């Protein structure tokens, strides 16, 4: 699991500027900021708002940060093309708000601005909230996104960072170095008051969508061509993932952990996984449908369909807390269906023989095929 990296220097520079000075935009006395579509970058500060114009294509030339007390609205049909490489990303800080209001026939698209597009062309989208994480401690302490000044976490599990519906994020995963690169979308401590539905991560150079703590309830997710894991959660994530379709993934369809530094950290990951299809697809790699790691936490899986992977469920025998989670009944899958798995359905070898119930599962709605709800707003399927 790789962490989103936000450039410390970029954030520091933005702290001394506003959107109106950084990107040739203008601000009215009411705090409404007008964005230069050809030079989309900068910072929205407290009291500032902006609404993008769906008739324009916005060139994301650097980072765009929505700070506390500011809001960014992106209407249906808006297209954002990143041209700044690693420095191009959109970030929402704690108490900032983002409203992405796409539709099934007119989604919002964030993509590469290069003529020949490829994974890793730009950063991605990151949102920070005030919901719990075990990264900073067990009593609501906050944490900081790795090598950045963005704070996340707290005690407000019902915190809202806004509404994100019908969004497609493409060609993300720009790398700072071999160990540090962006995901498609990274949610840090995002609360259940946030709407996160109908989201596609397409051709990500790292993970498709990753949850770092938080309590958001995500629905209708598509991750296609993820060069690491497709969906990833960690650090005390206590939300849910419901209706998710994964295809073409290099490593795990779903990777989940409790805490990479301390597998027994509290509050523990406690996730509901419901109506999910994981299909290996054509992308090179030799991993597994699901990977329970680094303490595991609690998983309640319902209606899970896994197809074409080398392994169904991976869990290292050396990861004592993760295996204990299964042994103690904290990890369950009912029903779960494995199709064309060349190796073991599960690597768990402990005494719990009832943690998974194999049976017929429809997964995201259509077994290994594209679900009906993904039609129209997605690409590549």
pLDDT tens digit sequence for 103-133: 999 999 999 999 999 999 999 999 999 999 9
Q: Write down the pLDDT at residue 365.
A: 98
Mind listing the pLDDT tens digit for each residue in 313-341?
999 999 999 999 999 999 999 999 999 99
Q: What percent of the chain has pLDDT over 90?
A: 85
Q: Write down the pLDDT at residue 19.
A: 41
Q: Write down the pLDDT at residue 86.
A: 85
Three-state SS at 128: strand
Residue 179 has pLDDT above 70, yes or no: no
Which backbone phi and psi does 35 adopt, to 5 degrees? -95, 140
Q: Write down the pLDDT at residue 178.
A: 64
Query: What pTM, to 2 d.p., does this model score?
Result: 0.92
DSSP annotation string for 95-122: T-EEEEE--SSS-EEEEE-SSS--TTSS
pLDDT band, residue 150 (cuts 50/70/90): confident
Least confident window among 28-32, 76-80, 317-321, 343-347: 28-32
From the centroid of its chain, how far is CA 223?
Answer: 10
Q: What are the residue ranges spanned by the domains of the chain?
A: 1-215, 233-381
Q: Write down the pLDDT at residue 146.
A: 66
Residue 161 has pLDDT above 70, yes or no: yes
Mean pLDDT of 277-298: 94
Q: Write down the pLDDT at residue 56.
A: 98
Geometric angle at alpha carbon 160, from 155 and 166, rounded to 5°: 140
Q: Is 284 exposed, middle or buried (0-12, 13-18, 19+ CB in 10 A)?
A: exposed
């Amino acid at each position: 699991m790789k962490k989103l990296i936000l450039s410390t220097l970029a954030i520091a520079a933005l702290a001394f500027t506003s959107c109106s000075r950084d990107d040739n935009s203008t601000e009215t006395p009411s705090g409404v900021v007008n964005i230069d579509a050809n030079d989309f970058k900068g910072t929205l500060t407290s009291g500032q708002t902006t609404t993008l114009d769906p008739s324009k294509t916005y060139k994301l030339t650097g980072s765009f940060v929505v700070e506390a007390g500011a809001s960014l609205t992106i209407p249906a049909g808006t297209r954002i093309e990143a041209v700044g490489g690693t420095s191009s990303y959109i970030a929402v800080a704690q108490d900032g708000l983002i409203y992405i209001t796409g539709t099934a026939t007119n989604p919002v698209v964030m993509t590469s601005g290069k003529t020949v597009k490829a994974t890793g062309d730009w950063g991605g989208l990151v949102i920070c909230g005030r919901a719990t994480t075990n990264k900073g401690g067990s009593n609501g302490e906050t944490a900081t996104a790795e090598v950045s000044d963005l704070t996340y976490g707290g005690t407000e599990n019902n915190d809202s960072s806004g509404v994100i519906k019908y969004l497609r994020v493409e060609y993300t995963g720009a790398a700072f170095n071999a160990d540090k690169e962006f995901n498609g979308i990274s949610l840090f401590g995002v609360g259940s008051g946030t709407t996160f539905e109908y989201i596609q991560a397409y051709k990500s150079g790292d993970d498709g969508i990753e949850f770092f703590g938080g309590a958001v309830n995500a629905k209708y997710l598509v991750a296609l061509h993820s060069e690491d894991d497709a969906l990833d959660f960690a650090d005390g994530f206590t939300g849910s993932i419901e209706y998710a379709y994964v295809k073409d993934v290099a490593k795990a369809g779903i990777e989940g952990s409790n805490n990479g530094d301390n597998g027994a950290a509290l509050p523990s990951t406690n996730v509901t996984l419901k109506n999910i299809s994981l299909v290996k697809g054509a992308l090179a790699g030799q991993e597994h449908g699901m990977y329970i790691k680094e303490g595991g936490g609690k998983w309640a899986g319902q209606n899970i369909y896994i197809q074409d992977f080398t392994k169904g469920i991976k869990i290292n025998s050396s990861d004592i807390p993760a295996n204990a989670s299964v042994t103690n009944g904290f990890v369950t899958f009912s029903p779960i269906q494995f199709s064309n798995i060349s190796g073991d359905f599960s690597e768990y070898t402990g005494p719990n023989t009832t943690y998974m119930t194999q049976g017929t599962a429809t997964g995201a709605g259509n077994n290994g095929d594209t679900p009906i709800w993904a039609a129209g707003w997605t690409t590549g399927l």
